[in-house]
Amino acid sequence: MGAGDDGKKTTRVTTRDRILEAALGLFNDRGPDRVTTAEIARTVGINEGNLYYYFKTKEALLQALFEKLEGDASAFMVKVSANTATDPGIYSDYMRRWFSIIWVHRYIFRDLPGVIATAPSLREPTRALSMGMRLVVDGMLQQMTAANLIDVPVDDVPQLLANVWIVSTYWAVFLSLQEGIDDLRPEHLDWGLKQVASLFKPYLSELGKGELQIMLGRSFALDKAL
């Protein structure tokens, strides 16, 4: 930490931070398997040996990036779990927030099999994150029920939970494997959100349907352009 002329504290960006930022950008653009450590070093403006000082292997680099995803996801989970608000719009905001996290870390959602192949040590942390998020989705469904937005029969809850998590997490993999889309753009984020929203439609109240239309009317593509 340091202080600027105006007395405000500033955070020093370290070489390690710059490496992670460059790697995240390159991985998001093309995928970890198509990016070399030499290219990451060139992007940062350091030699490859200096990069290895901070990260001995690409797996170590992926582990550090995953910790950033864990931090973002954990903050999101805490916020949702602690929610006591009854404003119907808060749940669509939560959904958009989760998709924004996916966007920031889209390489891992789009290229998960390849990421695990390169960094086997991430298999269990990824599974733990998945389990944690499913619990959060379960809690959010209960909150939405209490807010009269949704009415899900008890027998349908496990299936809905599984499908919401599968679609919200792996829609990018589907686009890559089935549609050949590797260059994800904000409009693809809109597409993924619509797929998840469609899972809720059979259970929405009239109030819930109105909130759904409001949510789908807010385009990620438009947000990114502003």
pLDDT digits 0-9 by tens, 13-69? 899 999 999 999 999 988 899 999 999 999 999 999 999 999 999 999 999 999 999
Instruction: Let me know how long the chain is.
Output: 226
The 8 Å CB, 24+ separation contacts for 93-99 are 94/140, 95/193, 95/196, 95/197, 95/215, 96/193, 96/215, 96/218, 96/220, 98/168, 99/168, 99/189, 99/192, 99/193, 99/220
Higher-confidence residue of 145 and 54: namely: 54
**What pTM, to 2 d.p., does this model score?**
0.81
Delimit the domains of the chain by residue range. Answer: 1-56, 58-225
Q: Report the distance separating Cα 193 and Cα 221, nearest Å.
A: 12
The three-class DSSP label of residue 199 is helix
Average confidence score pLDDT of the chain: 86
| CATH class of the domain comprising 1-56 | mainly alpha
Q: Report the distance separating Cα 136 and Cα 132, nearest Å.
A: 6
* Per-residue confidence (pLDDT) for residue 8, from 0 to 100: 53
Q: pLDDT band for position 134 (50/70/90)?
A: confident
The pLDDT of residue 225 is above 50: no
Q: Report the distance separating Cα 22 and Cα 27, nearest Å.
A: 8
Is residue 27 within 8 A of residue 65, CB to CB? The reply is yes
Is residue 54 within 8 A of residue 15, CB to CB? The reply is yes
**φ and ψ at residue 52, rounded to 5 degrees:** -65, -20
The domain over range 58-225 is classified in CATH as 1.10.10.10: no
